[in-house]
Structure 1
Amino acid sequence: MALEKRLEENISALSKIGSDPTGGMTRLLYSDSWLEAQKFVEGRMKEIGLETSFDEIGNLFGRVEGTKYPSKTILSGSHIDTVVNGGTLDGQYGVIAAYLAVQQLLETHGQPLRSLEVISMAEEEGSRFPTVFWGSKNFVCEASKEQVATIEDSNGIKFVEEMHRQGFDFASEDKVRRDDIEAFVEIHIEQGNVLEMEKLQVGVVNNIAGQKRYTFQLKGEANHAGTTPMGYRHDAVYGFSKICSGVIDRALAEGDPLVVTFGKVEPKPNTVNVVPGEVLFTMDCRHTDAGALNKFAAEAEAFMKEVAKEHGLELEIDLWMDESPVPMDESIVAKVEQAAKNKNMKYKVMHSGAGHDSQVIAPHYPSAMIFVPSINGISHNPAEATNLEDLVAGVEILTEALYELAYKE
């Protein structure tokens, strides 16, 4: 069967598991549809001759031993869970692409010199329980039992109970990180519109942007909208407007790859005839360079404090996420780029503004990522889509990269 047909059939079949009546897909960690999806992938792995296994928490592996260097493993894959009412490509495309690439290699070249392994990670999205990267963090032995021991989903169902219900448990405390992984390559939809806008087939990812996420409380004084003169007000919304426009103007002046977003704004009391006395707002700030990210964030905080002081407001700052940028391995990136050249693909070397399992794995194992275009940049949405020819091109480059890594001396 041609690769195009295989890919189309696998995406269609797997997308039926957890399909949402509204047109999207919902497959949350330790739900019945999540387990069914992992079992589906396990079945497809076995069909192509891979030896399968689950780890303690539900990561799925499919492996073929190398003929000459069996203790050196080339790994590829992604996550199997989704957001609520998400699309049919985020995560699972990377899983399907990995086992189809291995299938192509086995059919064309036979058994590899180094072991090839596909991973379908248990969870990345954080859509059901307040935890993220549960699959990859367990894979690199960085998961914390304490962080999830008491958490529950929005329906009050406990994480640990659901994990046990599906037949899984915490990893043993003496488990050590694997020392056989020579390279990890993850393929993913871009979830942005850069490749589409630039009419490119593939992105070779060399860095995952660092992120800082804040929640701010800007406090002024609520008062009567009709009887409080403009000059006597301590208007929190007015202060926020100055902050928002000022920080975004600074980000525009800084230029790419810096991005900053004020994504949530809640004025209080939020009614038509009261001067707002308080605003809760968030800021998401990302950059591929840690020094530049820290510098911009510090300057933004200082600017906010100046605005607050000028308008008689109080500012409370909560920096609740502070993740450094994660560079991909230069040698693996070079091999992926060479694979794109070998296939005569239109590509660019680029960074990822979104987080991925690779950012957890890359500090421990040489890693790289491949992006394929997202139509209109849409993701985490039932409208998420990529042209079939672009999905096929991605698998072809992944196949070529894995060949270079697993079959060459």
Structure 2
Amino acid sequence: MDLEKVLKENIDCLSNIGNAPTGGMTRLLYSDSWLAAQNTVKEKLEAIGMSASFDEVGNLFGRVEGTKYPEETILSGSHIDTVVNGGTLDGQFGVIAAYLAIQYLLETHGKPLRSLEVISMAEEEGSRFPTVFWGSKNFVQEAKKEDVLEIADFEGLKFIDEMKRCGFDFRDEKKEKRDDIKAFVEIHIEQGNVLEKEELQIGVVNNIAGQKRYTIVLKGEANHAGTTPMGYRKDAVYGFSEICYEAINRALEVGDPLVLTFGKVEPKPNTVNVVPGEVLFTMDCRHTDSVALASFTEEIEALMQEIAKKHGLAIDIDLWMDEAPVPMDATIVSTIEKAAQSEKMKYKLMHSGAGHDSQIIAPHFPTAMIFVPSINGISHNPAEETKLDDLVAGVKVLASTLYELAYK
């Protein structure tokens, strides 16, 4: 099996589905291109001898039965949807890598002792409808029907109508959650530049960072820019600037793996000759340790209150996302490490700062992730790219990992 040739052919094939003439990939949940991609993957699974089928919501599974322990399943895969105008690797590389790794194992070693299964998850990105992880949340039976009954996309098309148009429906909530999954391994591009900067081929992910996201509003007093003396102002931008400066300096003192981002800033009235009386801004904070994350954000919340008081500003702090860190399974992490060593790959243990389907699956089934480098750390962008050699290295490590889990 010429892995480099086959991998490139499969990436090119799937990337033609949803690829815009101007560049970039757009393949959104329950769209025509999404359905075409899932059906193409189904054909590829069947072509290598796997039985393939969809669940109720559109997750696709390909399966080969184990010869000795068929009731024990080793699962690998990722999501098939993309962001709007995204790249050709985020999500779909994990699907392609999973079935090519299994194809290689079947051709080289025959049938496994434990069942091997590929999952091509329906949706992870949340790019069409205001819902995320629809595929993995249904797989582990966390998805709630009531959360999507009334939602629609940017064109007004309702979620439920588009789902049914593609031939899918809500899952049967009376079914029990699967109990045969002994391991889930997801391979993904890093979407950062750590591996590239350190000249490594493989990241062995041992933790997915927790996230806290805030919307904060500072309220002062809008006033004339020419007639209001500096000492009499209640300038919301001045207050925000001090908050931003002090908080980021504190984050730099704490250091990795903590990250802090002020990503959106909206001053009002946002005009040249008026002292801004209000600023709305967001804050995103992430860490792999839940205690450290809570401690730091509590410190920053107190700091914001103190600075607002000093400037004579009112402040409203809304914490609207609070996701705990998700550790990966230590046994599978160790198995991936050994696979990287056996394949003579340069690797490191690392955490994921981005969210992935694995964080949804890990609380239910033993889970770990493999990263491959991203050129310049770019993702969710038509320029998203990884060297073919690094993609091949990832498939080899995945195949070696699945061999340890399913053949021994």
Normalising to structure 2: TM-score of the pair?
1.00
Q: Does 1:233 align with 2:203?
A: no
Quote the offset at 1:289 in angstroms.
0.1
Per the alignment, residue 336 of structure 2 pairs with 336
Q: Does 1:199 align with 2:199?
A: yes
Percent identical among aligned pairs is: 76
Give the aligned residue type for 1:361. I
Tell me if structure 2 keeps the 8 A contact 1:141–1:175. Answer: no
- 2:179 aligned partner, one-letter code: D
- Match for residue 108 of structure 1? 108
**Residue of structure 2 in register with 1:177 after alignment:** 177
Aligned partner of 1:253 in structure 2 is 253
| Partner deviation per Cα, 1:165-187 (whole Å, 9 max, x = no partner) | 10100011212210000000000
Helix, strand or coil at the partner of 2:239: helix
Q: Which residue of 1 aligns with 2:88?
A: 88
Residue number in structure 2 paired with 1:158: 158
Q: Show the 5 A alignment for 1:209-358.
A: 209-358=209-358
SS in 2 for 1:22: coil
Structure 2: which 5+ runs fail to align? none
Q: Over residues 125-172 of structure 1, what are the superposed CA-to-partner deviations in whole Å (9 max), with x where a residue is unaligned?
A: 000001000000000000000111111111111111100110100011
CA distance, structure 2, for counterparts of residue 325 and residue 176 of structure 1: 26
State the alpha-carbon separation in 1 of the partners of residues 22 and 246 from structure 2. Answer: 40
The alpha-carbon deviation at position 318 of structure 1 amounts to 1.1
Cα deviation 1:35-59 (Å, max 9, x = unaligned):
0000000010000000001000000
Amino acid paired to 1:194:
V
Q: CA deviation at 1:21?
A: 2.4
1:351-366 correspondence to structure 2 within 5 Å: 351-366=351-366
Whole-angstrom CA distance in 1 between matches of 2:391 and 2:309: 52
1:70 aligns with 2:70: yes
Paired residue type of 1:118: V
The Cα of 1:20 is off from its aligned counterpart by: 1.4
TM-score by length of 1: 0.99
Range with bigger deviation, 1-10 or 369-378: 1-10
Spell out structure 1 runs of 4+ moving beyond 3 A. none
Cα distance, 1:22 vs structure 2: 2.2
- Match of residue 132 from structure 1: 132
Question: What is the DSSP-based 3-state SS (H/G/I as helix, E as strand, rest coil) of the residue aligned with 1:39?
Answer: helix
Residue of structure 2 equivalent to 1:16 = 16
- Quick check: 1:74–1:406 contact (8 Å CA) kept in 2? yes
The correspondence of residues 364-403 of structure 1 with structure 2, limited to 5 A, is: 364-403=364-403
Write the distance in 2 (CA, Å) between the matches of 1:81 and 1:252.
35
DSSP-derived class of the 2:212 partner: strand
Amino acid of the residue matched to residue 276 of structure 2? P
Distance 2:304 2:153 in 1: 35
Which residue of structure 2 aligns with residue 189 of structure 1? 189
Offset of 1:100 from its aligned partner? 0.1
Number of aligned residue pairs: give it: 408
1:302 maps to a residue whose letter is A
Asked whether the 8 Å contact 1:217–1:281 carries over to 2, the reply is yes
1:336 Cα deviation from its structure 2 partner: 0.4
**AA matched with 1:391:** L
The 1-side partners of 2:330 and 2:296 are apart by: 27
Q: Show structure 1 runs of 5+ residues with no match.
A: none
CA distance in 1, matches of 2:225, 2:135: 52
- 1:92 Cα shift? 0.1
Q: Which residue of 2 aligns with 1:44?
A: 44
Compute the displacement of 1:93 (Å): 0.1
1:407 aligns with 2:403: no
Bigger shift: 104-113 or 17-26? Answer: 17-26
One-letter identity of the residue aligned with 1:378: I
Shift of residue 317 of structure 1? Answer: 1.1
Q: 2: distance between equivalents of 1:218 and 1:175?
A: 48
* Paired letter, 2:86: G
* CA distance, structure 2, for counterparts of residue 216 and residue 128 of structure 1: 26
Instruction: State the secondary structure of the residue aligned to 1:295.
Output: helix
2:12 is paired with a residue whose SS is helix
1:320 and 1:81 map into 2 onto residues whose CA distance is 25
Check the 8 A contact 1:67/1:111 in 2, yes or no.
yes
CA distance in 1, matches of 2:243, 2:304: 6
Q: Deviations over 1:194-244 (max 9, x none)?
A: 000000000000000000011111111100000000000000000000000
Q: Root-mean-square deviation (CA), in Å?
A: 0.5
Please give the alpha-carbon distance, in whole angstroms, between the structure 2 residues aligned to 1:219 and 1:155: 35
